[in-house]
Amino acid sequence: MSSNTATVLEIKIPSYCEVKVHHSICLELHRLIERILNVILAIESARPNYASAMQTLCSLHSTLAKAKSVIKHCSESSKLYLAITSHKILSRCQKIRNAFELYLAQIQNAVPMPLASKISAILHDLRDTEFFLEFEEEEARKVVLSLLEKNFPDSASMEKEELEAIQIATSRLEIKTPFSFWAEKATLKRQLEQVNGTNLKEKELLQYLLYLLIKYGNFICQIQDGNHSLKRECHDQSFEHKLVVDEAISENQVNDYLNPHVGDI
């Protein structure tokens, strides 16, 4: 087995249940990864002599890594962030599919006939492969993006629209329980810590989503008796620590997250 193959095999692909959003997209990527990885192993066993074939194999390995990175991204990122940036995920998946099709077609004539037939079947499926958003993801995306496009006449109107939008979005994305609410906040904070300092649009979007969750959290979770009910639902120390940290955020800090000029997302 080549070192490239070993690297690809060592990259863990999150399971279906670990993917937060874009389940259908990630399932399709999983299917493609498994089929193409098996073919790559067969191609390497056939040891094609052409230098161009070996270069194409390297390109296939690189494309596999990109496909796995999409699934990893969908398992680690905020649900709200994934829904709002879903058009970028779709674009990445389409480019990955096109790259698989290009490289497999290039190497098809450099392998034995039985293997070429398997590649032909995969190419046929690749041409029919479509990536799409689920209804809930699309609705969550539209309702939050609409906030960024509106000019509100006053703060009361803005708060009314924000509350309605974030309630719809969190409901569609299954952010309904206190645990899922705080987990979403923790994920947004982690992404903010990791975001590239030069990527201002991404940073502003993450800040805005965190602002919405902090400001309207009680309404989202439908908590009647304040933060104490949240603590009663938390049974592990790490989660309870997150609650203590979140409770320390003052109203002034919350307002700092709001940036009315998020720009095009």
Nearest to 96 by CA among 67, 65, 71: 67
* Residue ranges covered by each domain of the chain: 3-128, 135-256
Q: What is the mean pLDDT of the chain?
A: 79
- In angstroms, what CA-CA distances link 3 with 6, 9, 53, 58? 5, 10, 16, 11
Q: pLDDT per residue over 174-214, tens digit each?
A: 888 888 888 999 999 999 999 877 788 899 999 999 999 99
> What angle separates helix 23-46 from helix 86-107, to the nearest 10 degrees?
20
Q: What is the pLDDT of residue 20?
A: 74
Q: What is the pLDDT of residue 19?
A: 66
Instruction: List the structure tokens of 155.
Output: 């703060």
How many Cβ atoms sit within 10 Å of the Cβ of residue 35? 16
Contacts of 212 (CB under 8 A, 6+ apart): 162, 165, 166
Q: What band does 222 get if pLDDT is binned at 50, 70 and 90?
A: low
Nearest to 209 by CA among 90, 91, 83: 83
Q: Residues 87, 196: contact at Cβ < 8 Å?
A: no
Compute the distance between CA of residue 84 and CA of residue 205 in angstroms, rounded to an integer: 9
Q: Residues 19, 26: contact at Cβ < 8 Å?
A: yes
Separation of CA 73 from chain center? 4
3-state DSSP assignment of residue 48: coil
- How confident is the model over 109-118, as a mean pLDDT? 88
Contacts of 137 (CB under 8 A, 6+ apart): 21, 22, 82, 83, 86, 172, 173
